Structure 1
C-alpha cells in the first residue's frame, strides 16, 4: 500500500489569494468548475490574468500533473496539458513521480475506492471541502509499473474512442449551426413572415407529481425530465432522467406526455438548458418545451432556441429567481421561413441528428463499460498479463 503523497513529487492547491485580473490576460484562472472530463475547459465567464501575475503566483505544473477539485464542487478531474493557467484554491494539483504511471493514478482517482474515501472525509454541510491532508493520506494498492501501464492502456483506449466520438459530434454540430446561420440569419428573406414561437410549435409546460406519494415514481416508467437531469447529462438527446413517473403519477398531475422530437427548454433554475426528446417524455414545471409543427421540424426549433437564448432570458421575470412563464414563452418573436428553405435545412439535419444520437448512445455504452471495468482492473480481478501496452 502507498499513499498519494508517497507517489507524488508535489501535492498542493492553488492560490488562496486572488491575483489581479485583466479581461485580456493570456492566463486562465482555474477553479473546480474548469475541470471537466479530463481537461481544463473554458466556459466563457472565467477571470483571466497576466504572465506577470503568473510569475508571482503560478505553481509548477508539468505533463505529469493531475488536477482535482477539492472545494465547492468535489471530484472534477483533469490532466494538465500545458495550458496557460493560474490555479485557484478550488483545485488541487498532484505531480506524479517518474517511476509511477501517471495515467494509472489518473484512473485511480476516479475509482469507487477513492470516491468513497472522499465522500467519507469531506467536510462542510453546504459547501463541501477536501483538505490537502486528506488527499495526501489516501492509501491504495499500487501494482508493478508494467501492470499499471497495461491497466491504464485498456482504460485509455476506451476514453480515446469516447473523445473521438465527441469530436465527430462537435464537428457535425458546427456544420448544422453554420448552415442555420447561413440560411436563416445571413441570407434571411425580408418577405418571410414574422410571428411567435406558437407559429413554430406548441409550447407545453410540466408538472411534478406529489413527492409524498412513492407510488407516483419508479425506475422504469414514463420518462420525466428535470433541469437537473440536463445539468448532469450534457447530451443533445435525452430519453430518461434520474427517475421516471408512473401512470398513476401522470394521472394525478398536470404533466403532459410529449412526442419524440420535442425540444425541451428549461425555463428556470437555470434558464436555457436545451435538449431533444429521443422518445416520449414528460417534464417538471421547470420547462417550457416546444413540440414542433410537422412543417417546421425539430432542427429549426432547436437552433432557433439556441440562437435566441439571450432574447428569451431578457424576457424572464422574477426578483430572486428569473423564470420564463408560459405566456412569455408563447410571445417570443419568431421568423417563419418558407417551406423550401426549411426543407433544405431539415434534409441536411435529419441524417446529422441521426448520427449524433447514435454516437451519444455509443458513448453511454462505452462510459458504462469503462466505469464497470475500472474497479475490477484496480482490484486485480481482470487478467491483463497478455495486454500489450
Structure 2
C-alpha cells in the first residue's frame, strides 16, 4: 500500500521578519548546494520586510529549475525564499525519514515532470503532495533514517575535516604572501607565474565527438554541480577525433581550472589530464610556482579579475586580461616552502573528496531500495 506525501507531511506556514535573520539563517535557492549538499552562507538578505519561516527539523527543497536536487534538513530555525518549499513531518512521522523520502531521485524526477512554467519552471505544490510514498511503521522509518544518516554523518565529518585543512592552507598563504610579503619581491603579472589556457567545444553536430569514456572535458556547469576542490572529469568526455577537431587543449594534472564567464570564478584543480570548453581561462602553473600557490592566488585575485571583466549580457575575462592580472612574484624558496606545507593537506583533501563521492553513490543507491521495500529493514536491529 502507498501513502501520498500529504499523509506524512504538510507545507509549513508562517512568516519571519527579515530583520531577525542574518546570512547564516537565511536560505535561498542560491545558497543551497547542489546534489543534496546542504547549504552555505547566503550572499545577501531579501529586501522585503518578511519572508517564509522554517523550524529546526523541517525539510527544505529548492523548487525552481535549474535548482532542483537541492535539499537541506534544517538544523536551526530561520527564514527562506519563496522558491524554497518547507516540508514539516506530521505527528507519528520521523522527520529524518521525511528528509530521505524527499532526497530520493524519484521524488526530484516526479517534481520536474509535474512542474509548471517554461522559462523557470517551478514544481506544482498540489501535484507534489500527490507523490506516492511507502507505508512504513514509525519503527521502520527510524531504521531507514538511521541507516542513511550514518552515511551522511560520515560525509559531513569528511567535509568538516576538509574545511579545516583548507583554512590551514589559506591562512598560511595569507601570512606568507598577503600580510607579510617580502618587500624585495618583484611586481609582475599572472603570465609570469603560469600559462593561461583557453578551451573549446567539439561540434555537437558530430555525435562521434562525444563518447562515454574518452578525454575528460569540463564545463562551468560541471563545477556548479560538483563543488569539489579536485576534479577528474565532467558529465561528458570527448573522443580523440572530437579533440583534434576543436580548439580544446589537453592540460596536465595540477592545472587550475578557472571559469571565465557565466560565472567568473569557479575554481578546481585537475586530478589528471583534462580539457575544457571555452568557458575557462585555466592556468598551468610554472614548475617552481606549484598548484597550491596558484590555486589560492586565483581565489585571492578573484575580485580583481571580476573588475577586469567586460561584457553586457555576461561578464567575461579574456585570455589577455587573465595574463595581465597583477601579481607579486615570490622567490622560489618561499614558494617551495608553501607548496611543501600544502602537499599533504591537498592529498588528504583529495582522498576525502573521493570517499565522499563513493559514500554519496552508496547512499543514493540504497535510498530507493529502502523506500521500495527491496531491502527489508523490519528485521534489522539498529
Q: Scaled by the length of structure 1, what TM-score is found?
A: 0.91
Which residue of the partner structure matches residue 29 of structure 2?
32
Which residue of the partner structure matches residue 231 of structure 1?
224
Question: What stretches of structure 1 of length at least 5 have no aligned partner?
Answer: none
Q: C-alpha displacement at 1:26, in angstroms? A: 8.0
SS at match of 2:305: helix
Q: 2:126 aligned with 1:163, yes or no? A: no
Q: 2:257 aligned with 1:267, yes or no? A: no
Match of residue 324, structure 1, among 311, 317, 320: 317
Q: 2:200 aligned with 1:207, yes or no? A: yes
SS at match of 1:41: coil
Q: C-alpha displacement at 1:30, in angstroms? A: 3.2
Q: C-alpha displacement at 1:63, in angstroms? A: 3.2
Going from structure 1 to structure 2, the CA distance change for 1:224 and 1:71 (only over 3 Å counts) comes to closer
Going from structure 1 to structure 2, the CA distance change for 1:180 and 1:25 (only over 3 Å counts) comes to closer
Which residue of the partner structure matches residue 47 of structure 1?
46
Which residue of the partner structure matches residue 11 of structure 1?
11
Q: C-alpha displacement at 1:6, in angstroms? A: 1.9
CA deviation profile, 1:319-340 (whole Å, cap 9, x unmatched): 2221111111111111111122
Going from structure 1 to structure 2, the CA distance change for 1:71 and 1:12 (only over 3 Å counts) comes to farther
Going from structure 1 to structure 2, the CA distance change for 1:220 and 1:38 (only over 3 Å counts) comes to closer
Going from structure 1 to structure 2, the CA distance change for 1:370 and 1:186 (only over 3 Å counts) comes to same
Match of residue 76, structure 1, among 57, 62, 70: 70
Contact 1:195–1:334 (CA under 8 A) maintained in structure 2: yes
Question: What stretches of structure 2 of length at least 5 have no aligned partner?
Answer: none
CA deviation profile, 1:330-363 (whole Å, cap 9, x unmatched): 1111111112211110111011110000101111
| CA–CA separation in structure 2 for the residues paired with 1:347 and 1:261 | 14
Match of residue 276, structure 1, among 255, 269, 273: 269
Contact 2:57–2:76 (CA under 8 A) maintained in structure 1: no
Q: Scaled by the length of structure 2, what TM-score is found?
A: 0.93
SS at match of 1:250: helix
| CA–CA separation in structure 1 for the residues paired with 2:241 and 2:22 | 56
| CA–CA separation in structure 2 for the residues paired with 1:20 and 1:149 | 34
Q: C-alpha displacement at 1:137, in angstroms? A: 2.1
Going from structure 1 to structure 2, the CA distance change for 1:13 and 1:237 (only over 3 Å counts) comes to farther
CA deviation profile, 1:187-222 (whole Å, cap 9, x unmatched): 101100111111111111111111111111111000
Going from structure 1 to structure 2, the CA distance change for 1:283 and 1:38 (only over 3 Å counts) comes to closer
SS at match of 1:191: coil
Going from structure 1 to structure 2, the CA distance change for 1:245 and 1:71 (only over 3 Å counts) comes to closer
